[in-house]
Amino acid sequence: MSLEQNIQVLVKDAVKALYGVEASDAQIQLQKTRPEFEGNITVVVFPFVKLARKAPAQVAEEIGQQLIANGQGLVAKYNAVQGFLNLVIDDAFWVKQLEAIDADENYGKGQQPTANGQQPLMMVEYSSPNTNKPLHLGHVRNNLLGYSIAKIQEANGWKVVKTNIVNDRGIHICKSMLAWLKFGNGETPETSGKKGDHLIGDYYVRFDKEYKAQIAELMAAGKDEETAKKEAPLMLEAQEMLRKWEANDPEIRALWAKMNEWVYAGFDETYQRMGVSFDKIYYESNTYLEGKSEVEKGLAAGQFYRREDGSVWADLTKDGLDEKLLLRSDGTSVYMTQDIGTAKLRFQDYPIDKMVYVVGNEQEYHFKVLSILLDRLGFPFGKELVHFSYGMVELPNGKMKSREGTVVDADDLMDKMIEDAKEISKDKVNTLQGITEAEADEIARKVGLGALKYFILKVDPRKNMLFNPAESIDFNGNTGPFIQYTYARIQSVLRKSGVEPMNHGVILDHTQGLDLKELTLIQRLCDYPAIVRNAGDNFSPAVICNYAYDLACDFNSFYHDLSILNEKDEQKRALRLLLAKNVAKVLASAMSLLGIEMPERM
C-alpha cells in the first residue's frame, strides 16, 4: 500500500478506538506537510471535531498518540498544530519504499478501468501538415506535444492510437503544383539535391511571388485590390486545377501523386529525426468525400441549407455562433467537410473511447463547430471530442533560418540545435576516454534534440511561448541538458562502483537513520506515480518536466553533500548506490514520456 493508504487505515482505526465511530474515506483528508513544520504527511482533523466534542488541537493530540501506540511503527513522531496533525514517518518505511521502487520494472505506470475486460482506447491526433511546404517551428511544438501526450496516456493505462491527418488536397496544394508546372523545368528532389518537402515549399513561395506581381499589374491597370485578387490568371488557373482534381482528371491526379510522394519522403525523414511516429495516417484526399456525403445527408434532412449560389451552409446562431460554410458554390469542400469525414472513418476503424485533437488555439472555433455538426448529424461521439488547445511558439530574435522567409523550418531548427550542442559540449566530450567521433556526434544529437524538446514541453502547453535556442542548450538550470547530465553523472558513479547496485537479499539498515538528503530523494521518487497521473489527467507534459527537474536538483544536492563511492560504511554505501540507480531509472522513465533520449556519457 502507498503511504496515504496506510495512513488512511490507521486513522480510521484510531477514530473508531477513540470515539467509537466508523470514519468514511471522505472524512479522512491528507495533504503534504507544509515546509515550515516537521513532518511528511498531515492529517486534517476538523472532520472529527464534532464527533469527539473536543477542541481541534486536543483531537489532533489524541489521534497522534493513538497512531504512535498502534501504528505498527509507521509513525515515528508527530506534532499537532491546531486542527492539523503533522506525522513524521519512520525511516524503515522509506527504505522499504525504495526497495519496492527498485523491484518494480514498470514503476510509475498506472491502469485504467476496463469495460468487458477491454483496455480503453484513446486516439490522439497531431501534426496535420499540408503537402505544400515543409514542417516548421509551429509543427515542432504540435508534434512534440502530441507524441508526449500519447506516451503519458499510455503510461496511465490507455491503449493509444497516434494518428495524423495529412492535408493533401485543396487550393494550396494546387498552387504548388501549378508553380512547378510553369516554372519547374522538370526539377526533382534528385536533380536539385533538396528534400522533397523543401522543394515543393519553394514552389509554393514562387506561386505567391508571381501571384502578387499579377495583382500589382491588374491594380496598375485600374482594378481594385479585391477584384485583382480574384481575376489574377494564376489564381484562376489554380482554381480550375482544383476542379479538375476533384473531377479525377488523370493528368492532374498523376502530377499530384508524384509531387505528394516527394513531400511524404521529406516528412518521414523529419518525423524520424524528431523522434515522433504514428500508428495510423489518414489523408484528406480519402476522407473529404465521406464528409461531402454526410453534408449532403444533413442537407436532405434539413440540418443545413443551400444558398442561391449553390453553396451549402450550417446555421449555428442558436448555438451562439454564426453560419458556417460546408460546401463551396462550385461543389468543392472545405476543411470542416474533411474533418467530418475523417471523424466518421476513425470511429468506424477503432472502438475509440476518447478522441483528442492536438491543434493550436487559433482553431478553437473550428472544433466547437465540428463538435456541434457531428452531434447534429447523429454521431454519438460529437459532444465528447477533446480539443487540446495549445499556444503558439515564436523565436525571440525572429528567424533562425527560413526557407520561405516567413517561418522557421523544422529541419533547420534541429540542425542548429545539434550543432550548438556539439559546440557547447566539445570540451566535455573530449575528456571522455576512448570516445569516437561517431559517439560524440550521437551525444550531440541526443543533447541538442533533448534541449529542444524539453524547452518546448516544460512550458504550460496552453500558453504562448518564446523558444530561446541559446537558453535551452544550457547545462545549468531548468533545461534538458541539465537533466541528461545528471543522468550521465549517475551512470558514471554506477560504473565506477564496480558492482551492480541491486539489493540482492541484503537487508538495508535503517536504524542509523536516513540523512535528510537521502530522505528527500526517496520521497521525491515516491511521488512519481502521482505525477504521471496528474500529467495524464491534465494532458500536460510540463508536469513531467517540472518533476524531472526537481528530482535532478535533489540528486545533485545529495551528490554534493554526501559521499557515495568513498563512503566507508557498507550499508550506507549500498543504500546510496541503490538510491542513485533508481533516481536514474525514474529520470529516464520521465524523460522517455517527453520523447527525450538519455546519453550514458556526457
Q: Dump pLDDT digits (tens) for 20-53.
A: 999 999 999 999 999 899 999 999 999 999 989 9
Closest CA to 586 of 155, 32, 40: 155
Residue 575 has, within 13 A of its CA and on its CB side, a CA count of 30
Cell of 529: 506515480
Q: Span 505-518, mean pLDDT?
A: 70
Pairwise CA distance, residues 483 & 441, whole Å: 19
pLDDT at 427: 61
Which residues make Cβ contacts (< 8 Å) with residue 303, sequence separation at least 6? Answer: 314, 376, 377
Closest CA to 462 of 548, 538, 371: 538
pLDDT at 535: 97
Give the burial class of 301: count Cβ atoms within 10 A of its Cβ; 0-12 exposed, 13-18 middle, 19 or more buried: exposed
pLDDT at 330: 83
- In sequence order, what DSSP letters do the residues of 437-494 get, joined into one string? HHHHHHHHHHHHHHHHHHHHHTS-TTS-EE--HHHHT-SSSSSHHHHHHHHHHHHHHH
What CA–CA distances, in Å, run from 114 to 157, 158, 193, 259, 353?
A: 10, 10, 51, 45, 11
**Predicted TM-score (pTM) of this structure:** 0.91
Asked if 151 and 593 count as a contact pair (C-beta separation under 8 A), the reply is yes
Domain annotation for the chain: domains and CATH numbers: 3-89 (3.30.1360.70), 124-167+279-390 (3.40.50.620), 169-276 (no CATH), 448-592 (1.10.730.10)
pLDDT at 403: 45
The predicted-structure confidence for 242-277, as pLDDT tens digits, reads as follows: 999 989 999 999 999 999 999 999 999 999 999 999
Helices 480-497 & 570-592 angle (0-180, nearest 10): 140
Cell of 601: 556519457
> 179-193, 266-280, 380-394, 431-445: lowest mean pLDDT where?
431-445
For the chain, what percent of residues have pLDDT higher than 90?
82
Closest CA to 591 of 479, 438, 429: 479
- In sequence order, what DSSP letters do the residues of 43-101 get, joined into one string? EE-GGGHHHHTS-HHHHHHHHHHHHHHHSTT-EEEEEEETTEEEEEEPHHHHHHHHHHH
Residue 405 has pLDDT above 90, yes or no: no
Residue 506 has pLDDT above 60, yes or no: no
Bridge partners (DSSP) listed for residue 333 = 327
Four-CA torsion 463, 469, 471, 474, nearest 10 degrees = 130
Which residues make Cβ contacts (< 8 Å) with residue 22, sequence separation at least 6? Answer: 12, 15, 16
Asked if 156 and 113 count as a contact pair (C-beta separation under 8 A), the reply is no
Q: DSSP label at 27?
A: G
Pairwise CA distance, residues 63 & 21, whole Å: 13
Pairwise CA distance, residues 134 & 500, whole Å: 47
Residue 568 has, within 13 A of its CA and on its CB side, a CA count of 0
Pairwise CA distance, residues 381 & 350, whole Å: 13
Q: DSSP label at 33?
A: P
The predicted-structure confidence for 135-150, as pLDDT tens digits, reads as follows: 999 999 999 999 999 9
Pairwise CA distance, residues 211 & 216, whole Å: 9
Backbone angles phi, psi at 494, to 5 degrees: -65, -40
Residue for grid cell 486516439: 123
The predicted-structure confidence for 64-74, as pLDDT tens digits, reads as follows: 999 999 988 89
Residue 512 has pLDDT above 70, yes or no: no
Q: Span 210-215, mean pLDDT?
A: 96
pLDDT band at 431 (very low <50, low <70, confident <90, very high): low
The predicted-structure confidence for 93-146, as pLDDT tens digits, reads as follows: 999 999 999 999 999 999 998 878 889 999 999 999 999 999 999 999 999 999
Give the burial class of 64: count Cβ atoms within 10 A of its Cβ; 0-12 exposed, 13-18 middle, 19 or more buried: buried
Strands (DSSP E) along 82-229, which ranges? 84-89, 121-125, 159-166
The predicted-structure confidence for 155-212, as pLDDT tens digits, reads as follows: 999 999 999 999 999 899 999 999 999 999 999 999 999 999 999 999 999 999 999 9
Question: How far, in whole angstroms, is CA 238 from its chain's centroid?
Answer: 37
Residue 222 has pLDDT above 90, yes or no: yes
Asked if 152 and 535 count as a contact pair (C-beta separation under 8 A), the reply is yes
pLDDT at 333: 83
pLDDT at 468: 86
- CB atoms near residue 348 (< 10 Å): 9
β-pairing verdict for 305-306 and 386-390: unpaired
pLDDT at 406: 60
- Average pLDDT of every residue of the chain: 92
What CA–CA distances, in Å, run from 246 to 174, 175, 293, 297, 578?
A: 11, 15, 14, 20, 64
Pairwise CA distance, residues 492 & 546, whole Å: 24
Q: DSSP label at 597?
A: -
In one-letter notation, the amino acid at residue 186 is G
> 485-499, 530-544, 547-561: lowest mean pLDDT where?
485-499
